[in-house]
Amino acid sequence: MDGWKHGDTLWRLLIALTAAAVLVLILAIGWLLWRDSSAARQEFGVSFVLPTSDASWNPVFDKFQAWPFIYGTLQTSFVALLIAIPVSLGIAIFLAELSPAWLRTPLGWMIELLAAIPSVVYGLWGIFVFLPAVVTPLGDALGQAFGGIPGLGVFFAGLIPQSGSSRLAASLILAIMIVPTIAAVSRDVFLAIPGAQREAAMALGATSWEMIWQVLIPYGLSGILGAVILGLGRALGETMAVTMVIGNSIEGSLSLLRPGYTMSSIIANEFAEAVTELHTQALVEIGLVLFIMTLLLNIVARFLVWRVARRTPQEVRA
């Protein structure tokens, strides 16, 4: 019995196996998606994900191309980032550098609460409150302002539906949903920057803003970039709220003001009702593409955040 050290060998084995199981889980997700999309991958090859102007998604003839959904996901996520980055950086700076101490904790909590609201509640509020009140008028205004400009006008062409259901609506809701992620991570990045950096900038006569803009942001840039990528990862995968407000339409338009479709919302809408095996497989393949995209983004983001966190304490000591 001595070799077992009163059961400790068994215990160590048990916890090591559970730890390994977490790793195996990720591999299992990738493997099952890969396996269950094999026929679709063979049938359509690379053309499944390549950009085309006349992509077909036709369950009746078993012809599937995912480009409209990939475009919808990338466009809505990109616009959401454009809106969310300045807002979240502002929040992060305010929370880390400016806020009076009594306000810091409650404000931080409220921002975090924004991340805790279930996605379907965002969707419901979106459909009945936010879209008619904000998105429809905003879409009309944007269409009038930018619709006529050559080039850029493509993204503001057409009329926004009266309900407001559009890629613009999805982008705005996504922006609200990813602000807490980006803000919380970049606040932590700011807090990890050594005080000596601030003092040095102040001692050279910088104003608070110059210190933030010329010293803190460059110093924490890779961490902030990591935060942004984490937010992007959330935006790419977000399903319910987007499905409820984007209008779910496969039309060729590039416009933000028109209804669209995303990768996650086509899976949500069609998977349970897919008839043919190839239809199911095509949807799983979209899931696989989404999985790979978010996996890569997360690895990059974690690496960037981790590098800042790791570098900082050493430099304080030096």
Partner 1 sequence: MTTSTMPAKRQIVFSEARFARRRIVNLIMLGLTGAMALLALVPLIWITTYVILRGGSSINVSFFTQAPRPLGVAGGGVLHAIQGTFILTALAGVFAIPPGVLAAVYAARNPNTPLGIAVRFSTDVLSGVPSIVVGLFGYALIVKTQGHYSALAGGLALAILMLPIVVRTTEEMIKLVPHTLREGSLALGAAEWKTTLRVVLPAAMNGIITGLMLGLARASGETAPLLFTALGNERYDAFRIIKSGIQTGQNPLSILNMLVEQPIDSLPLTLWKYAQQPYPERINQAWGVALVLMAIVLLTNVSAKLWVTRRAGQLKG
Judged by CB under 8 A, the residue of 71, 77, 79, 123 near partner 1 is: 123
Tell whether residue 109 is a contact of partner 1 (CB under 8 A): yes
Position 275 contacts partner 1 (CB under 8 A)? no
Between 143 and 215, whose beta carbon lies closer to partner 1?
Answer: 215
**Nearby residues of 38 by Cβ (< 8 Å), 6 or more positions away:** 281
- Closer CB to partner 1, residue 65 or residue 88? 88
In the region spanning residues 200 to 219, those forming contacts with partner 1, defined by CB under 8 A, are 207-210, 212-213
Identify the residue among 49, 254, 268, 309 touching partner 1 (CB under 8 A). 268
Q: Does the footprint of partner 1 cover residue 302 (CB under 8 A)?
A: yes
- Judged by beta carbon, residue 155 or residue 290, the one nearer partner 1 is 290
In whole angstroms, the minimum distance from the beta carbon of 43 to partner 1 comes to: 19
Strand, coil or helix: 164: coil
Residue 16 contacts partner 1 per CB under 8 A: yes
CB 298 within 8 A of CB 230: yes
Tell me how many residues contact partner 1 (CB under 8 A): 93
Q: Which stretch binds partner 1 (CB under 8 A): 141-149, 157-165, 298-306, 309-317?
A: 298-306
Site map 128..157 versus partner 1, x via CB under 8 A: xxx---------------------------
Residues 40-79 close enough to bind partner 1 by CB under 8 A: none
Task: Answer whether 248's CB lies under 8 Å from 269's CB.
Answer: yes
Stretch in the footprint of partner 1 (CB under 8 A) among 39-47, 63-71, 192-200, 265-273? 265-273
CB nearer partner 1, residue 254 or residue 278: 278
Asked if 91 touches partner 1 (CB under 8 A), the answer is yes
Residue 292 CB, nearest approach to partner 1 (Å): 10
**152-154-157 Cα angle (round to 5):** 120
Question: Which residue among 234, 255, 281, 304 contacts partner 1 (CB under 8 A)?
Answer: 234
Place of tokens 């409650």: 106
The SS3 of residue 70 is helix
